Structure 1
């Protein structure tokens, strides 16, 4: 019998991230739900979708009636809701987690609202698993001006965010991505999680495209694990360093994104440059998706961790033409199935 865990989710935020006035228009949530529900590979379909709590998809100030309508829209397509992205960034009403009292209060206010929404969606029976995703809402350059002070300030804010999450029965996942100060390298990310020291409430959201850039040392050259001229045909050298990365961060990982990357950075719209997401069959992609995913989903002895009860595809900053093509999501789902076939289980 084929594996039915982890559940396979698509992400809705690629319809928003990198879109806007100086790029392409956002893609409506209903369109993304239809594309997700329409994908199928040998009888297997997506189980759910992960959401960003931001207009024009799901407003952070959504009313109970609006959330009920959201739950109905998702369930009628045979899907469930998983992890939620809290809009902690200043342009969306949040604030820097290492900022002044007002900025930190704005950050925590968005976490509070996101946790409330998460709890309401659980009560509606549409969200059986998932976390609230956060980041530091500040850039690496500002963080580097006073590394020790700023890292401790972020940790203090994250600790307060943990108190909020615990109150609502939620867990937080800090997004490991090179564009977030204090989280922009594998070493800084591990240090921050240890400073907070609340693994029962705060863990890591690991994205295969973003964490590949950790190896390259973008925004943190001293923490590079691969040389700039790394020969990508040398798989043994790659996996030797990849294992160092995953052995450090896997114990913290509670949310996982399947993705492909060509070892370059990219940004569009107002989004800072970060790990480029490629389609799973991109000839320039550097990852064997199923093999590399195993380094995150299995422990050092090769046993399944079963920590992530769902995994999510993240494909930010693709052109709308690509995202509105149903075949795109069939290819994505096929990659997701390959991960579950290799590293899943049956319940």
Structure 2
């Protein structure tokens, strides 16, 4: 029979046995020196959490650390925004992030969409080439009537731009302005309706050039190395605007939009914006003003360190180039890229490795009887 005294004895004995077992397992093992890493090539990372039993895995050498989240944009009341200078309004509405991806858009503009029975047969194969070579892109042909509403929507907070667009008296002026406006607001690729894609835009830039280091891709339209060049072209090196690729908000686009807006509103106020008053479309909205804005950007100390420069960047840095040339965040393609087959100024043929876009030079802004669609 278990008496009270025996119960006390058994309890003390059990307690002593428990203490003995505990003391025999309390001594920690000596640390192992020069132990191999749990994963090949792994290194301890500062600030990494040490989870018991988890193997340390080293990041790949070319893996970039995650970007810190961007601070939210300060919201300006509309009346305060519209009191800012025009370029500041555009910068606020369409901020530029050079490290962002190129939007997968292809923008074209014409009187009719391809679904319309009035869409010219001569344009169908050219227009379709952009979809065929860019199957994952959103490809839009914006009609003139839709473009008006799209610009009103995108630039509703900047009424000066909308007023300038509506004031332009010729369709060709509106078409020129539209390409800059849509790329500034949405980015992607703009291509004239009389262009054909020969290669996907993914192949335009060498793969070793990181896509987060550039935000604008342009091509040379003209490189007339002859004494009478000014009789044929507006600039010694002229950048084409029938095909442009851009990330939204790029400063060159901001500048050309502001330039055209200010010129249009000044002409309107002085009653010089009638059809007969537009002497040179090329200078007002075309490749001349576009080229000027590109070179102005290259030489702008706000974007480039010009303190140690030997002089301004001019046409001389681009004449005769046969491969892409990167200046800051702009990639300039040689004349062959967007003008193959012109048989002058050093341009290669359509099968040249650097030939990316074929321009039909239809002259869509001319009266229909003066165009040369379908001619070789």
TM-score (norm: length of structure 1): 0.26
TM-score (norm: length of structure 2): 0.25
Larger Cα Rg: Structure 1 or Structure 2?
2
Q: Which has the higher contact order (CA 8 A, sep 6+)?
A: 1
- Name the structure with the higher helix share: 1
